[in-house]
Amino acid sequence: MIDLTQLIEQANELAPLPASTVRLAGLIGNPDCHLDDVTELIVFDQALTLKLLRAANSAASASLVRVANVREAVTRMGTAQVLALAVAAGAKRFLQTRLPEYDLDEGVLWRHSVAAAVAAETMQACGSVESPPETFTAALLHDVGKLVMARFLSPEILGFIRRAREVDHLGQLETESLLLGANHAELGGLIAQHWNLPPRVVQGIIYHHNPGEGQDVICDLTYLANQLAKRIEAGLDGRYFDLSILPEVAQRLALTPKTLDNLCPIAAARYTQVSRRYNAV
């Protein structure tokens, strides 16, 4: 078993997000957040201002009327999407990394992360449960813990993991916890804490595989975003992915088979449109 202290140290070694992004996360996570405060913060970050205006004026925004200033851009996109865009700009360089330990080529983790964020956006528009503004960011970063976990997955440990899954029929999360003392979801939560992201983002990341333990709707929504992202990716690659949602999650989110059948193609179409926004950050 790996020393948990080593895992935590490695998680804390990841470079921090830009200070303006951390402050933005704190603002948007505050229920008393005011649009003027968000606008003022972004205005003084030239790089973020350019990204925001470009995203707000892209085809994905579904508007022919161009916005000319930050306030209009924030109003058009909404604070949740603004935060996700800012976090994506800071985290993209990490999430594009090749992770052979998880059979992920360069850019694959990033694509999955964007697909999950887009799925979260779609769920807000089509779902029957209101999404907290932090959901987009939790969905985008739900697998960030794999970046640290992969550093400890030696060939020997990978062999143990394969045997545990094939012989004992354990899942990835259970196997990581058994062999390493923690799993990639818990490490992702540590990274989000290190980046000073809102507690609800941390919660959504930690419990995106076992949402019932998180006891917060953001855990259910992040779990669902992850599953929808897998369906989106399978469709892009010409594969089939059986979207099987935990019954308790479906009940808490008031999801029916018909709702999911309607949601999947909308999320896939939205991904094709919106992914350009994230790929340009």
Burial degree of 241 (CB within 10 A; 0-12, 13-18, 19+): middle
Judged against a pLDDT cut of 90, whether residue 226 lies above it is answered with: yes
Judged against a pLDDT cut of 70, whether residue 3 lies above it is answered with: no
Residue type, 10: Q
21-42 pLDDT tens trace: 888 888 887 778 888 889 999 9
Question: Rounded to two decimals, what is the model's pTM?
Answer: 0.88
Specify the 3-state DSSP secondary structure of 107. Answer: coil
Provide the 8-state DSSP code for 99. B
What was the pLDDT predicted at 61? Answer: 66
Q: What angle do CA 101, 10, 199 make, to 5 degrees?
A: 100
Tokens at 187, concatenated: 């490490």
Nearest partner of 117 among 146, 144, 92, 84, judged by Cα: 84
On the CB side of 68, CA atoms within 13 Å amount to: 0
What was the pLDDT predicted at 108? Answer: 94
Domain assignments of the chain as residue spans, ordered by start = 4-279
Judged against a pLDDT cut of 80, whether residue 276 lies above it is answered with: no
Placement of tokens 């209009």 in the chain: 72
Lowest mean pLDDT among 10-19, 178-187, 193-202: 10-19
Start-to-end CA span in the chain (Å): 38
What was the pLDDT predicted at 4? Answer: 67
Q: How far is CA 48 from the centre of its chain?
A: 19
Tokens at 17, concatenated: 């997000």
Provide the 8-state DSSP code for 17. P
Tokens at 244, concatenated: 């099987």
79-96 pLDDT tens trace: 888 988 899 888 888 899
What was the pLDDT predicted at 81? Answer: 85
- Architecture of the domain delimited by 4-279: Orthogonal Bundle (1.10)
Nearest partner of 79 among 40, 39, 117, 47, judged by Cα: 39
Specify the 3-state DSSP secondary structure of 57. Answer: coil
CB 76 within 8 A of CB 65: no
Provide the angle, in degrees to the nearest 10, between the axes of the packed helices 19-28 and 79-95: 140
Higher pLDDT, 206 or 195: 206
133-191 pLDDT tens trace: 889 999 999 999 999 888 888 888 888 888 887 887 778 788 888 877 889 999 999 99
State percent of the chain over pLDDT 90.
34
